[in-house]
Amino acid sequence: MPVDAAFRPGQETAPLFVLGSYNWKRSATSGLKMQLSQTARYRSVMAGIESGTWLLAEASLLDDFSATVHWEDFDDFAAAHTQVKMVRDRFVIDGKRITAASSLPTVDLMLEIIRRRQGYSLALEVTRLFVYEQGGGRAEALAMPSTMPLKMNDPRVAHAVRLMEETVEQPLSLARLARRVGLSARHLQGLFQQGMGVAPHVHYLALRLNAARRKVIETPASFADIAAATGFNSASAFSRSYRAQFGESPSESRRRVRARVREHPRLVETRSAAGARLGLLATDHRSREDEIGRIPLEFLPRLCQLRHQPNRHN
């Protein structure tokens, strides 16, 4: 990853992500551990990615915190650092400490940070963008990329999500959706909550409103036409739901984004349409008082790039 500036342990308050891979012990010098301990006094968040977790633990910065590490290292880590509360998971967020087991779970971590900061709707849109990039050339994948989390593995929930994506214009009731999947409504609701982290109707509405917002931003279509295309009975009902979800009306979104494009035309010229849209919408963040709320949004794409970095684990 590119270096922007020298490390200043006593002056920076921004979240610090410590990355490590092969031969992390070579970096675990007394000088580095002292710097990490010093900077931890000022940082809002300290995170260990893959072997970076070892470096934080060596500096006693994970004492009494919950943490995770790659499954191959789990037992050795737990034996070496008994004061750390080990959890077998892809990533763990515990107050001012974050740990990710390897590079791929940083995608899940990024999505969770976005969900906590920005809400489920934007996290869903980012998920869509990543699956779009992994389409592998399949025409159907490029036409309608899935919005399932990258770790989704229940085929029944996956089927329900795909049905939602295919029926944005005419949404199905929960009962009809469950029948199509072959489950009771209650069983589907429980599986969906477990697999997606939200109730089916929350995902369905976010899916429709995200589709509507893309049309608001990227097309000149009337709001009545957009409402009809995304399953709303009227433009007024669409506008109410839109404002409740995004904190502004469709017309306000369109004016604001067009103003930003006029002001920064290269934002769209140099990036994919989906990436540009996320960049334009990223200013809509919700203020938060906890540590996650202090993670700069502009850092998240860099965090996600870790999944493409060579390392010892996948």
Sheet containing 46-50, strands listed edge to edge, beginning at the edge strand earlier in sequence: 16-20, 46-50, 97-100, 91-94
Low-confidence spans in the chain with pLDDT less than 70:
1-3, 130-153, 264-314
Positive or negative torsion for Cα 199, 204, 206, 207: positive
Q: What is the pLDDT of residue 133?
A: 40
162: closest CA among 177, 151, 176?
Answer: 177
Q: Residue 270 has what pLDDT?
A: 44
- What is the rounded distance in angstroms from the CA atom of residue 265 to the CA atom of residue 307? 29
Rounded CA separation 93/62 (Å): 12
In this prediction, residue 120 carries a pLDDT of: 83
pLDDT of residue 128: 73
Structure-block tokens of residue 206: 């976010």
DSSP per-residue codes, 57-82: HHTT-STTSEE---TTTHHHHHHH-T
pLDDT of 309: 46
pLDDT at 136: 43
b/e map of 121-153 (b: 16 or more CB within 10 Å)? bbbbbbbbbbbbeeeeeeeeeeeebbbbbeeee
- Element of type H or E holding 20: strand 16-20
53: left (phi > 0), else alpha (psi -120 to 50), else beta? Answer: alpha
Q: What is the pLDDT of residue 144?
A: 42
CA distances from 61 to 45, 99, 103 (A): 11, 12, 21
Angle at which helices 200-218 and 155-166 pack, to 10 degrees?
40
Pair 191, 252: CB distance under 8 Å? no
Residue 189's pLDDT is: 95
pTM given for the model: 0.64
